[in-house]
Each structure stands twice: as structure tokens, then as C-alpha cells.
A and B are shown apart, each in its own frame.
Chain A
Amino acid sequence: MTFSATPEAGPVNPQATTPAEAASRPLVQIDGLTMYFPITSGILVSRHVGDVRAVDGVSLSIRKGETVGLVGESGCGKSTVGRTILRLYRPTAGRIVFDGQDITRVEGSSLRAVRRRMQMIFQDPYASLNPRMTAAGIISEPLEIHGVSSGRERRDRVRDLLATVGLDPDYGDRYPHEFSGGQRQRIGVARALALHPDLIVADEPISALDVSIQAQIINLLEHLQDEFGLTYLFIAHDLSVVRHISDRIAVMYLGKIVEVTGSRDLYERPLHPYSVALLSAVPIPDPAVEIRRRRIILTGDVPSPSNPPSGCRFHTRCWLRERLGNPERCVEEEPVLREMATGHQVACHFAEEVDGTVEQVQVTGRPGKGAPAGSAGGGVPAGAETVAGGAAASTATSPAGTSQAR
């Protein structure tokens, strides 16, 4: 794939890149990205009284053609990361590099040139489509804004796009209210595809849809990625969906990334106490599995991002810290992301202690033998205990399960 289509690319790259370099470098690289939203008070004179630290020093890279999932609970800053990458916000600090070009401070026409290559799919297909525009009007708006094609050519492109996302091309002259939720989301996807973007930031694209429709949109997104070589940043709170679609996952808590790893690894060997708790809280639709799992019930609520706890931001709710006798280090020193295994980074002073704990093993709800390499210690006794019950149950269980199906 070449990107010669953007000759007007504004700022000059300091170093000319060879094609080989271009292929190996990440499409998006963010370093120490920080986004504070000011809190002001006063009616006539507004005074700056504090900041909501939505994103605080996040570093992440997204390779071409890859899907990176960003998970966390509401208010953890995951949407802000996505929006800041698209430069819908002006970051407080840090650097955003898109395809070799620093876009942290780009403005005006050169920002628009970059924006053409990155698009967004929104959560609410009811709110993100203009009710007074037809589907064709909505989809052709990006083409219009960027002056791409016109007349018949543009109409053909819109029909193509409608067909690509699985809608009847003749539906172009209908209005959003004439479509169902799933169909509306398809229009949102078509609009995002209109300019042949490289990166699509999908912010909770399925959480407003009915359960039976969600899979249609997930499959569509996967199919489009294969067809057009798209790169996705997939933002969602639902870990099972994120795990399904992502190659790598970053877990966020209160504006920080606490763990980054391959999506398979995150489930089989989570190393941050928060990731373990988050995984354990996701219910699995299978009573035979559920009975073997044990939930970690985190106490209290997520603290306010305008006044985050000192040191490790998770220390106020951490189950591991309690177990270790509340070490002071968690309160005093902020943990940095460190490499625990190839491509597996964790921001916890005591990540080694997580490995092999009963909590980590029980997240999977699988009897011991199912746990593959990596989760050695600790798994054995827990597994041995449940083997009998597990085996008996598994003969009769899980149509959606895996082992018998293949």
C-alpha cells in the first residue's frame, strides 16, 4: 500500500524515509501523552482551580494492520486517548507521531490532511448521524469536505460504500430514523471508510446495539480490516469483545496504562492486580465454568481523576497490596511500565507476586490441565481439586465452548 495520495502533506519530515523503514515503523506512536481538562470556577472571572487528569503519561504504539484494544472502566481515559490521537483535542504534553509525522501541534490545512487518513466510529448510532441528512448525504460528507470526486463518481462511490457495509445501495436516500440501530452503525462505518483511511478509532462501536446485532458489526469490522488493511484502535469496556477482536490489549486505570500484552496472554497470564480483578469480574455465559471461578470483589469506587491517589493509582483498591501487608512503596513510588516478558509490559512494583496466585489461576475458571505454559506454580493444587467436577461437567457443557467442538 502506498500513500502517495497525500502530496500536500504539510510539515517536512526531518529525515527522508526509505520504504523499508516505513514498513517497520508503527503507524501510530504516542509517547507520554497527557491530557488535562481544566476545572474552572467563578462567574465573571474564571479561575483555574484544578485539572481532570483524564490521560496522564500514556505511551503506546500501533503497528500497521493491527488491532489494539483499549479497555478500562468509565472515566479511565480510554476515549480521551482515542480522541487525542485523532487530534480532536490539543494534548497537554507528550508526542503523537502518525506514520512518521509528528502531529502533536499540527494545525489548519496540514491537520486536515492528516485527518483524512484517520477516522472514527462512534458509540451511539442514534446521536452520531445527522437526522436531517440522508444516508448518502452522511456518507458523502467527508468526500465533500476533502474535495474528493464529484457528481456521478461520488454517487457511485457512495453506492459502493453502502454495499461494502452490507446495506442495499438503494437505501441512500433514506433518513437515519428509517434504519435500525445495527443499520445505522453500518452507515457510521461507511462514513468512516469513505476516504480510504489507514487508522480507524472505534469508540465503543457496539455497546449501544442489541446482543444479536453486535456480532454482525464485529464480523463486518473484521472483514473490512482484511479487505482494506485497516488499523484499528478499538476502545471498549467489554473485555470479552475486546479480546475477540484485538491482537494486543492495553488496560487503563485512572488515566494510566497498567498493562499491555497480546490478547491471548492477557487472559491466560494477567500480571497486574487490576487486570486480574477486571477479568474475574466479567461473567462467562456458562454455569459450569462460572462455578469454578471466583470473583475478586474490589472495594469502593474508582477515585476521582481530578485528585488521583499518590504512587500507584490502584493502591486504594488493590487486593494484592493488602495481601503483601500494605507496602509503603505502592503509596510513595509510582510504578512504571516494565517488560515482564516479550511484549508484555506491566506497571506494578509487585507484578512477580501476581504470577501463580490463586486469583490469577481462577480467572480462567478452567481446571488445572487447561492452563498452558506460563501459569505453572499455584495452578496445580487448585486444578487437582476441581478435576473431578470439571471433567464431569465438561462432558455435558458449553455448546459455545471449544474443546468438544473441534
Chain B
Amino acid sequence: MALLSVRDLIVRFRTHDGTVHAVNGVSFDLDEGETLGLVGESGCGKSVTNLAVMRLLPAPAGRIEGGQVLFEGEDLIGLDEAEMRELRGKEIAMIFQDPMTSLNPVLTIEEQMVETIKAHKKVTKKEARARAVELLTMVGMSEPDRRLRDFPHQFSGGMRQRVMIAMALALQPKLLIADEPTTALDVTIQAQVLELLSRLTSEHKTAVILITHDLGVVAGLTRRINVMYAGFVVESATTAELFAGPAHPYTVGLLHSMPRLDAQPGEPLIPIEGTPPDLRHAPVGCPFAPRCAWRVESCWHEMPPLEPVRETAEVQTTGPHATHRSACWNRPTAEEAIAGRPLRVDFVPAPEPVEVSR
């Protein structure tokens, strides 16, 4: 049984401007100790999916309108707030992009760490403090005894993120959700934090969901990747397979629109034309169709299901042999994935039908 199993999750936000269709039926599984990357640009639903798992959607606007979130077989959506509070931090922990906004600025690190530990474990204040020192040492903080008495603003960005990691791992959770943990950091500090994250989580066999827009970060750190677009998982594969043979036009587009450090100079970038869709409209057809170079007629009418790229007897959703799946009516071939554009003779992307214009 998978540690976490998200089934057909639907999340919507009721706003003054209408209903935002943030997550439109997302399913994925995660094994114990597995690392999963969730990749996509802002507004694709990657953060909302995980806030829904943690049951931290901003109320009353954000609502889970369908699906299941099974954690060790138990549906989290049915739990009440007290039961959820028991679970958060202890079983599932989360770290955010900006550590300054997730730490309380008027309390010392000591007060915050001791409070977290004492909330879930029957220990004395002294024992909790000793554990805090131990945790700060683990994340590579020098003089942890003294630094415990500091306030968050006295730490640099990288150090604050280390404090967050220490707090997240304080209760040895089974699942760690890291939402853009290094986006606010400089590249050399990012390297420090990523190394720390991967070392600690593999030592403690913590399962990790790493949310990021940076394909480079997931390439080195995760075993499996889900690519999200407009509230759908559009491609799911092991990291090696995803980069070796992307089978969704959006993934192909992402890989070609970023300059690579090791690219030949002068190689042109192939941008993804257009802009991400407005999620206030209910999705009709594939949400990527308006920007897609591979689109065919049916893309405008029907969202393709997430299906295996190659024929297979049994679909595996987790593990090192997870089935490579993509949601596309007209998948790019291997050659096209390398070229970054359709190569078929006389292929023209299907024009937008008049009647379903959005």
C-alpha cells in the first residue's frame, strides 16, 4: 500500500471574480521513502494540491470538491481539525519557499522549536531543548546552543531555511512536503540546502514531495516526477525517463525554453507561445491546446486521459519502475522531443474551433 494516495482530487476557489478551477482531478501515489517532484509554473495547482493534502487551504474560499487523500489508508478529507492537527508536523511536515514568513518574528528559534516538539511529544522543556540543539547541529548550524536564543531576523536566508528543515524533521515525519524550498535562495546557498535535504531525508527514509518550477532542481534530487499544467497532471514518469524521452508537448516545451548551462552557444531557445490559461473558466478540452504546436482537432474538445506511453500489462504508479504516462492525444515522437517541434510533413496545428471559443 502506498504511503500517500491522492485520488481524483478537485479543488476550487470561490472568489468575487468567479470560481477558480485550481485542481481538476489529480491522482498520484507515493511510497514510503520515495522522492517525487511536482513540476509546473505558477498557477498550475502544484502548491494547492499539497495544501489540500495538509488541509491548509485558505478558508472559506478554497474547497476540496471531490476526491480522496489517503494517508496510510486513511482518508484525510474526513478528519476533523483536531485530528488533522495531530497529524501535521508529526506524520506530514511542510517547508515553504520563504522561511521568513513561516517563522514567527517575535519569538526566538528556541521558543518555536520547543513549542513544536512539546506539542506532539510528552517531554520536559529541557529535553525538548536538548532535542532542538541536536536538530540544529544536524542541519549544520555552528554554535547551536547560542543561536537557539536568536530571533529569525538574525539569521540569513539559507540559515532560516535550515531552521525550517530542522523543525520539519523534528518529529521524524513519514512525509515531507517541500514547496519551492530554495527559490528564494542564492545558487550557492541553494546547493547547500538541497544537499542537506537529500542527505537527511535519505538517512531517515522520509518520503518527499518536492514542488518546484525548476527542472534542474528535480533532475538531481527526485526519483519520479509529475508535470502539472492548469490543475492537471499531464505527464508522470521516473526522472530518468522523463528527461530521456518527454512525451507531453508541455514538458518538451519546458525543456526547450530554458537555456542550459551545458548547451552549445548560439543554440536558439524555443519558447512556449502564449500565456497560461485563465483558471476562472472551466476547462474545455486540453488546457494546453491553445499554446501547443502538436494540437489536433480533439484537443479542443476533450481532455486526454493520463495513459501509458508504451503498451504495458500493468500500470505501476510508484517505485523505480513506475509506468511512463502522458495525457496527450498527439504525443511528440522521440525525434520531435529532441527537435522541440513537430517534424511531420504538412502537419498544421488544428485551428481553434469557432463554437468552443473561450
Decide yes or no whether B261 CB sits under 8 A from chain A.
Answer: yes
Q: Which residues of B contact A285 (CB under 8 A)?
A: 214-216, 219, 243, 255, 258, 260
Interface size on A, residues (CB 8 A): 57
Q: Are A278 and B262 in contact (CB under 8 A)?
A: no
Would you give 13 A-B contacts (Cβ < 8 Å), ordered by A? Answer: A73-B188, A182-B275, A210-B213, A215-B269, A216-B273, A218-B269, A219-B271, A267-B262, A281-B191, A284-B260, A287-B219, A287-B239, A402-B267
Taken together as a complex, chains A and B put the C-alpha atoms of A66 and B119 apart, in Å, by 60
Interface 1/0 per residue, B227-242 and A, CB below 8 Å = 0000000000001100
Q: Which residues of A contact B158 (CB under 8 A)?
A: 301
Q: Which residues of B contact A216 (CB under 8 A)?
A: 271-273
For chain A, residues 364 to 406, give those with C-beta under 8 angstroms from any C-beta of chain B. Answer: 364-366, 396-402, 404-405
Q: Are B340 and A399 in contact (CB under 8 A)?
A: yes
Q: Are B262 and A289 in contact (CB under 8 A)?
A: yes
8 cross-chain pairs, A with B, having the tightest CB-CB distances, nearest first: A283-B216, A244-B259, A215-B271, A215-B257, A285-B215, A73-B186, A281-B191, A212-B272
B-side residues, CB < 8 A to A, are 41-42, 156, 158-159, 186-192, 194-195, 213-217, 219-220, 239-240, 243-246, 252-265, 267-273, 275-276, 291, 334, 337-340
In the assembled complex, the CB of A362 is this many whole angstroms from the nearest CB of chain B, namely 12
Given contacts A211-B257, A284-B216, A287-B240, 19 further A-B contacts (CB under 8 A): A73-B186, A73-B187, A210-B276, A212-B254, A215-B269, A216-B273, A218-B259, A218-B271, A243-B265, A245-B259, A277-B188, A289-B262, A290-B219, A297-B191, A399-B245, A399-B255, A400-B255, A400-B340, A401-B338
Taken together as a complex, chains A and B put the C-alpha atoms of A112 and B31 apart, in Å, by 63
> Which residue from B190, B219, B272, B339 sits with its C-beta under 8 Å from A286?
B219
Taken together as a complex, chains A and B put the C-alpha atoms of A244 and B260 apart, in Å, by 8
Q: Which of B189, B194, B245 has the most CB of A within 10 A?
A: B189
Taken together as a complex, chains A and B put the C-alpha atoms of A67 and B254 apart, in Å, by 25
Q: Are A240 and B265 in contact (CB under 8 A)?
A: no
Q: Are A219 and B219 in contact (CB under 8 A)?
A: no
Q: Are B258 and A282 in contact (CB under 8 A)?
A: no
> Which residue from A264, A278, A398, A402 sits with its C-beta under 8 Å from B188?
A278
Look across to chain B and name the residue whose beta carbon is closest to the beta carbon of A220.
B271
Decide yes or no whether A237 CB sits under 8 A from chain B.
Answer: yes
Taken together as a complex, chains A and B put the C-alpha atoms of A214 and B265 apart, in Å, by 18
Q: Are A180 and B275 in contact (CB under 8 A)?
A: yes
Q: Are B216 and A215 in contact (CB under 8 A)?
A: no
In the assembled complex, the CB of A224 is this many whole angstroms from the nearest CB of chain B, namely 15
In the assembled complex, the CB of A70 is this many whole angstroms from the nearest CB of chain B, namely 15
> Which residue from A74, A364, A404 sits with its C-beta under 8 Å from B186?
A74
Taken together as a complex, chains A and B put the C-alpha atoms of A158 and B215 apart, in Å, by 38
Taken together as a complex, chains A and B put the C-alpha atoms of A351 and B334 apart, in Å, by 43
Look across to chain B and name the residue whose beta carbon is closest to the beta carbon of A401.
B338
Look across to chain A and name the residue whose beta carbon is closest to the beta carbon of B262.
A284
Q: Which residues of B contact A264 (CB under 8 A)?
A: 265
